[in-house]
Amino acid sequence: MKTYKWLVPTLYILFLMLPIYWLLNMSFKTTNEILGVFSLWPQDITLDNYAKIFTDPTWYNGYLNSIAYVVINTVISVSVALPAAYAFSRYRFLGDKHLFFWLLTNRMAPPAVFALPFFQLYSAIGLFDTHIAVALAHCLFNIPLAVWILEGFMSGVPKELDETAYLDGYSFWRFFFKIFMPTIAAGIGVAAFFCFMYSWVELLLAKTLTSVAAKPIAATMTRTASTAGYELGLLAAAGTLTIFPGAFVIYFVRNYIAKGFALGRV
């Protein structure tokens, strides 16, 4: 029994990889081959699908737009969440518990509920179809998440650290930047990772708030699927390329990812 234990995770990973393999397989095929012959690997490998994405501005701008708002969102979310999480982990103040729960309720709000009001709000203030609009809109769920994760990591740091620093004559901000932030660097990395992740995978709000100038890659794909009569190969290539940024950032946080999902509370 014990020696066959590795079978469970192996089969599970195999199950996870199959659809990804199929996407990769499709991306190297021509439309004719996809519709004509069924094969487990491409018979006649073509890079046309990828070439089209890298040369057509409507395609590659989609990637640049997505990355732009994701990065802006991550920077805003983590930098405002840091002091707030510190306050929640160290201090008692009027309404702290209610405030914390209220923040979390925004992580629980279905984006579908906010789609139309967001469209009206960001149109009214003239930010419609800009990267900053999507970045700000994603703050709705990413800031609460970042506060929650950072608060978990900060609560794991003993308060004696703060007190010793004050005795040594550090001012609050010097302590915060020079001692405290390096101490919870892993937590900051994990919080940034999660903001990146949720902003990268979200589509409903990103699509509602953009039309041309800031259109995310995911929305570009939806359009292709519906208007161009299913160019499966192209769709598969575009999908494959959206997997790489995620794989790239996972690699950096791989040792902390499990703790991160537990919101720093293990």
Partner 1 sequence: MIEKTANKKAWLFVTPVVALVAFNALIPLMTVVNYSVQETFGDNVFFWEGVKWFEQVLNSERFHESFLRQMAFTGMILVIQVPLGIAVALTMPRKGPWVSVCLVLMALPLLIPWNVVGAMWNIFALPDAGLLGRMINGLGIDYNFTQQPVAAWLTTVVMDVWHWTSLVVLLAYAGLRSIPDAYYQAAKIDGASAWAVFRHIQLPKMKHVLTIAILLRFMDSFMIYTEPFVLTGGGPGNTTTFLSIDLVKIALGQFDLGPAAAMSLIYFLVVLLVCWVFYTLMMRSEKQ
- Give, as ranges, the residues between 95 and 134 that touch partner 1 (CB under 8 A): 96, 99, 101, 103-118, 120-121
Min. distance of Cβ 116 from partner 1 in angstroms? 5
User: Using CB under 8 A, which of 8, 57, 126, 169 touches partner 1?
Assistant: 8
DSSP collapsed to 3 states, 102-138: HHHHHHCCCHHHHHHHHHHHHHHCCCCCCHHHHHHHH
Min. distance of Cβ 182 from partner 1 in angstroms? 19
Contact call for residue 181 and partner 1 (CB under 8 A) = no
User: Using CB under 8 A, which of 140, 179, 181, 186 touches partner 1?
Assistant: 140
User: What 3-state class would DSSP assign to 71?
Assistant: helix
Using CB under 8 A, which of the segments 41-49, 50-58, 180-188, 245-253 binds partner 1? 245-253
User: Using CB under 8 A, which of 46, 179, 183, 239 touches partner 1?
Assistant: 239
Largest CA distance in the chain: 76
Using CB under 8 A, which of the segments 46-54, 141-149, 181-189 binds partner 1? 141-149
User: What 3-state class would DSSP assign to 80?
Assistant: helix
Min. distance of Cβ 57 from partner 1 in angstroms? 20
Nearest to 153 by CA among 191, 197, 194, 107: 191
Question: What residues contact residue 58 under an 8 Å CB cut-off, 6+ apart?
Answer: 220
| Rounded Cα gap, residues 133 and 220, in angstroms | 18
Contact call for residue 212 and partner 1 (CB under 8 A) = no
| Rounded Cα gap, residues 215 and 61, in angstroms | 8
Contact call for residue 174 and partner 1 (CB under 8 A) = no
User: What 3-state class would DSSP assign to 94?
Assistant: coil
**In residues, how long is the chain?**
266
Contact call for residue 222 and partner 1 (CB under 8 A) = yes
Per CB under 8 A, contacts with partner 1 among 15-34 are: 15-20, 22-23, 26, 34
Per CB under 8 A, contacts with partner 1 among 38-77 are: 38, 40, 76
User: What 3-state class would DSSP assign to 184?
Assistant: coil
- By rule CB under 8 A, what count of residues binds partner 1? 98
Contact call for residue 81 and partner 1 (CB under 8 A) = yes
| Rounded Cα gap, residues 264 and 87, in angstroms | 16
